[in-house]
């Protein structure tokens, strides 16, 4: 073999090794990009789920406030009905000439 043939083989071998390193680096880059895209996709899904949960929380908070207001109104109505029943009972007892019944304690 002549010196130029040896030089050509060495250059070809160097080129082959460089191409192999480049292919390996590109494969690693592809894998890293795939992982990054999966992470980004997962993060986007998590953000979407968080937005949905926050919307649900807001809606549930509004429903809870409305339910609590309704309970308060019902309690006031119940107290008024009890007061009127006590008055009616006292009126009936008075009309019958009986002693007035003791008023019920509020709960």
- Report yes or no: 86 and 104 within 8 Å, Cβ to Cβ: yes
Q: Which two tokens stand for residue 31?
A: 């894998």
**Phi, psi angles (nearest 5°) of residue 44:** -65, -40
Nearest-angstrom CA–CA distance, 66 and 76: 15
Q: Is the pLDDT of residue 28 over 90?
A: yes
* Highest mean pLDDT pick, 16-20, 34-38, 42-46: 16-20
Residues 50-94 have pLDDT tens digits of 999 999 999 999 999 999 999 999 999 999 999 999 999 999 999
């Amino acid at each position: 073999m002549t010196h130029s043939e040896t030089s050509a083989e060495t250059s070809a071998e160097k080129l082959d090794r460089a191409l192999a390193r480049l292919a390996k680096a590109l494969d690693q880059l592809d894998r890293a990009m795939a992982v990054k895209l999966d992470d980004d996709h997962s993060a986007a899904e998590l953000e979407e789920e968080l937005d949905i949960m926050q919307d649900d929380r807001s809606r549930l908070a509004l429903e809870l406030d409305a339910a609590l207001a309704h309970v308060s109104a019902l309690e006031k109505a119940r107290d008024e009905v009890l007061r009127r029943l006590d008055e009616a009972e006292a009126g009936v007892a008075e009309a019958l000439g009986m002693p007035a019944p003791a008023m019920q304690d509020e709960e």
